[in-house]
Structure formats: structure tokens, C-alpha cells
A and B are shown apart, each in its own frame.
Chain A
Amino acid sequence: MPERLSATHTNSNGIVTLTIPGSAAASAEELLEALRRQIHALAGKDDVKGVLLTGPESGFCRCLPVGGSSTSAAASLSNLGQQIMFSLEKIGKPCIAVIESECSGIGLEIALTCDFIVAGQAAHFGLPGIASGLLPFCGGSQRLARLVGKSKAKELIYSGDLIDAEEAYRIGLINRLYPNSEALAHAEQLLTHICTRSPNAIRIGGEIVNAGYDIDLQTACMMERDAFALCFASFDQREGMQAFLDKRPPQFKGE
């Protein structure tokens, strides 16, 4: 089986770019398995500071054939997809999706799992699977509704229509919109900048944001209080605050 996902170190700051193929991938299973291997490899590497997920110019990733026709095959594919998205969410490093062209179907589900999405003007987004009777199956329906609200999520899923980058920016699906073909360079710059911050604070912050989103505010704030207190046992806290007081840039270790 050919490796459908290529990872390349793009800069000396430890930023890795994962290129997800467009319609070149044979099936959703194949793509998901390849993604799983990459997530596993990247999560364990200390020298990897951040991840950019992007696609070739032909498209970030379109709807892919879903193999198997039985109920159990569909259920296990969905289970696999959802588990892989959870592990992407817990990769412990900042992860930005960069979209320059079409990002649809499973591609949008993957992008929705990243910390946030940046895009170029030519990008467009949607879940066209409905025309063949397909629903999102990697957690995309839930992440989309939480991000853009229930009505917009239903509009996108029911219609199967693709929306352009301006519309995606307006409804809050993407955080930043750049001129055509400039998104990747801007995203790399942004991620490099993010990687100068405390990896410890970013990892704990990401976990606390995710963990607290679906529970009541009071319980969530208790969790935050404890995680906040824990930061004061870290090198990064002492270094970050001392550097602030000394008016110099901090040298974080992520511990």
C-alpha cells in the first residue's frame, strides 16, 4: 500500500507539515490508517513542536470512497475515524489546518479536529456526502455544530453545498483568511510564533479547553483552578515570569 500521507520537516523550529492527499487516496480507511501512523509517530517526538496539516493544490481532501457495505463495516469505520480524531486532538502540540482549495467530506472532518483552520481565498468547504446518502462519521457533525452553531451545521450537512472562504470566515469556520496561495506561508509563520510560547501551557490549556467544553461551568472552573495551580510547579512558569520581569524573551523547556 502506498504511503498516502507525507510528512516533511519544513523548518528548523520543529514544525512538521503533513500533506493529506486529495482524491488520490484510494479510500477513507486507507487515509485514516495512514493518519493514525503519522499521529502516533509525531506525538512521541520531542523535537516536533507543531504540526501543519495541509493538502496538495488539487484539494485538501475530498469525499473518499467508503469501503464495505455492511452495517458492521460502517460502524467500525466510524469508530476508527472517531478514535483517530480523538488522538489527533490529544497530540499535545499545536496543530493548524491550512486550506488553499477544496476541503470537504472527511477532509473537513480532519480540519475541524485541528486547533483551528486558516485558509486562502480559493478555499471552499462542505460536506457533499449527503448526495450519496453519506453522513460525516469522524465526529464532524458534532465538531461542526459546536463551532458554527446548529443552524449553519444543518445547512451545510442537509444541502451538501460548498461554501467559499469568505463565508467560512464570516460564520467562524476558519480563524484567518489570507490572499490566494499565501495561507501556508502565513500559517507556518503563525505556528513558529506559537512555538516560542510555553509548550507546557499550550498543552495543558488545550486539554483544559477540550475537557471543559461539554461540562457545566462550575466543574470546568474547578478543573482549571487545579491545572492553573499545577503550572506553578513547572520550569516554564518560573522562566516565563522571570523573563517578563527581566524584560527578555523566555527560553521555555516545556516542563
Chain B
Amino acid sequence: MPFKKLRIEITNRVGYILLDAGSRFNKLSITTIRELKRALTQIEEDAAVNVIVLSGYPGESFAAGADIGQMVHFAPGDAFHFAELGQSLFEQIESSAKPVIGALNGITMGGGCDLAMACDIRIATEGLRIGHTGAKLGIITGFCGTHKLPRIVGKNYAREIFMTSEIYGAAEALHMGLVDRVYCETEFWPEVCSFAERIASHPLSALSAAKRLINAAEDTDLRTGCLLEREMATHINIHL
């Protein structure tokens, strides 16, 4: 089945999922989320790919949040199912055996910010506009953002971002730790590609184990985490 909201490109062991919803801004509608899940599954199964890049390049937005026209009529039950759908996508990204890089090419709002936070690493253009506008819409996010954001930038910045509903720029996002690297417009895409290709040149077994270990570090006590590291390192390093 063809995709309507995105396209897939595969180059040098990197699988690019490029959101292109057809309109000016990529919205995380139910259809887009379902397509993202399907595209991820397809790339995860592709043995020629070691690293996944998620982006809205060369468009204006990475993802501009949910479709408000769709959401305005939600009953609590619809909202519950929508949150479940979104959360299942983010869980799929986090539990994927392949590293996922978020290449934030522009507007990254609301659910789009949550999508970016589900990625392992975030690279942004100088033109980044990122924020969480739930409080302006009378809601909180339902896509794990209330827990991912404090874990990434700390509770205090998270509360500020949620409370102001304001749009933040690349320099602020970098200071807070919300993005890991920032490049100017002309360097952005070449840097994303070369960074992704460099990671993709490493053995996938080691990359997967590293991803699982770092994810586990968040919710595991140190001793259990170290035990897990010992087991994984033993298993991976035996092939040296």
C-alpha cells in the first residue's frame, strides 16, 4: 500500500522517513500516525538499513502537532484512543532495534515535539521553532510529552514550556538540552546525512544494545543497569 503522508528513501544504510502530508505543515493526524507506524515497521525489517532518520525535510515543518479540526470534536473516549495510538508509535520508535535520529527541519510543535522526543538524538536547523501549545488549546499532551520533556530538559524547563505555550528557537532549545546539535540552513541536511551514515557504518548489534542500555538507564537502579550492561557487553564483545 502506498504512503500518502510520507515517503521513504534508503541511501548508504540509512533509511529516511520524510513526512510530507501535502499541505504546508505536517500534522500528526490519525492517518499520518498510522503511516508512520507502517513505515517504521517496513524499515525496521529492511536488513539494508542500520539507522533511521525521521524528518520533514525539505518542507517547512518537522511536524506541527495534531489536527485541531479533527480533535475539536473528540469525546474523552476518542481522546483516549488517540493518545493510545500516538503512544504506541513512540513506543515503537523507542523499542526499535535501530537508532532513530530526529532531523528537525523547522516547525516542531505539540505532538511534533513529542515525536521529536521519542527519537534517540535530535539535530535541528537554526530555523527551528519548537514548543508545546496544549495550555493554549485547553489540554495537556497525550503523547508522552509530560514525561519525556522533564526527563530531557528537567522539570523546571518542562513546566515553563508547558505553561507559556510559547515557541522557542534553536539556541534556547540547545541551551535546555532539547536538541543535541544545531546547524545553519545550508549545512543542516548534509550534516544530518553524514552523521547518520557515520552511525550506520557501525555494527547494528552494538548500536541496538547501546540504545537498549541507555533507555534502560532511565528507569532502572544503577546496580540492575550495570548487571544488564555486563550481560549485553559480554554478549556483544565476545565477537571481538
Which A residues have a C-beta under 8 Å from some C-beta of B? Answer: 94, 115-117, 146-147, 172, 175, 190, 193-194, 197-198, 200-202, 204-206, 208-210, 212-213, 216-217, 220-221, 224-242, 244-245, 250, 252
- B218 and chain A: residue at smallest CB distance: A217
Of B55-63, B70-78, B97-105, B223-231, the one contacting chain A is B70-78
**Given A209-B155, A217-B147, A225-B83, CB of A198 within 8 Å of CB of B137:** yes
Please name 6 further chain A to chain B contacts, defined as beta carbons within 8 Å, in addition to the given A194-B164, A201-B139, A237-B139, sorted by A numbering: A193-B164, A209-B162, A226-B80, A236-B138, A240-B137, A245-B68
A229 near B80 (CB under 8 angstroms)? yes
**Chain A's interface: helix, strand, loop or mixed, by majority?**
helix
**Given A115-B159, A172-B154, A225-B83, CB of A197 within 8 Å of CB of B164:** yes
A213, B151: Cα distance in complex, Å: 8
A208 near B68 (CB under 8 angstroms)? no
**Chain B's interface: helix, strand, loop or mixed, by majority?**
helix
B138 near A238 (CB under 8 angstroms)? yes
Contacts of A216 in B (CB 8 A): 219
B136 near A250 (CB under 8 angstroms)? yes
A201 near B142 (CB under 8 angstroms)? no
Cβ-closest 5 pairs across A and B: A240-B138, A228-B142, A236-B138, A197-B135, A116-B156
Could you tell me which residues of chain B, from 5 to 59, have a CB within 8 Å of some CB in chain A? none
B138 near A237 (CB under 8 angstroms)? yes
In the complex, 24 of the A-B residue pairs with CB atoms within 8 angstroms, ordered by the A residue number, are A147-B154, A175-B157, A194-B135, A197-B135, A198-B139, A201-B134, A201-B135, A202-B162, A205-B146, A217-B147, A221-B87, A221-B144, A221-B147, A226-B80, A227-B146, A229-B76, A229-B79, A229-B142, A231-B139, A232-B139, A238-B72, A241-B137, A250-B137, A250-B138
A225 near B76 (CB under 8 angstroms)? no
Number of A-B contacts (CB under 8 A): 164
Most chain B CB inside 10 Å of its own CB: which residue of A232, A235, A238 = A232
A200, B138: Cα distance in complex, Å: 7
A175 near B156 (CB under 8 angstroms)? yes
Shortest distance in angstroms between A76's beta carbon and chain B's nearest beta carbon? 28
Shortest distance in angstroms between A168's beta carbon and chain B's nearest beta carbon? 12
Contacts of A210 in B (CB 8 A): 155
Is B84 positioned at the interface, with any CB of A under 8 Å from its CB? yes
Contacts of B154 in A (CB 8 A): 146-147, 172
Is B203 positioned at the interface, with any CB of A under 8 Å from its CB? no
A193, B135: Cα distance in complex, Å: 12
Contacts of B138 in A (CB 8 A): 198, 200-201, 231, 234-241, 250, 252
Is B173 positioned at the interface, with any CB of A under 8 Å from its CB? no
**Given A115-B156, A209-B150, A228-B139, CB of A197 within 8 Å of CB of B163:** yes
Contacts of A175 in B (CB 8 A): 156-157, 160
A225 near B87 (CB under 8 angstroms)? yes
Contacts of A202 in B (CB 8 A): 135, 162-163
Contacts of A172 in B (CB 8 A): 154, 156-157, 176-177
A228 near B136 (CB under 8 angstroms)? no
A232 near B159 (CB under 8 angstroms)? no
Most chain B CB inside 10 Å of its own CB: which residue of A115, A228, A240 = A228
- B163 and chain A: residue at smallest CB distance: A194
Contacts of B145 in A (CB 8 A): 224
**Given A146-B155, A208-B146, A241-B72, CB of A225 within 8 Å of CB of B136:** no
Q: Which of A190, A209, A225, A250 contacts B159 (CB 8 A)?
A: A209
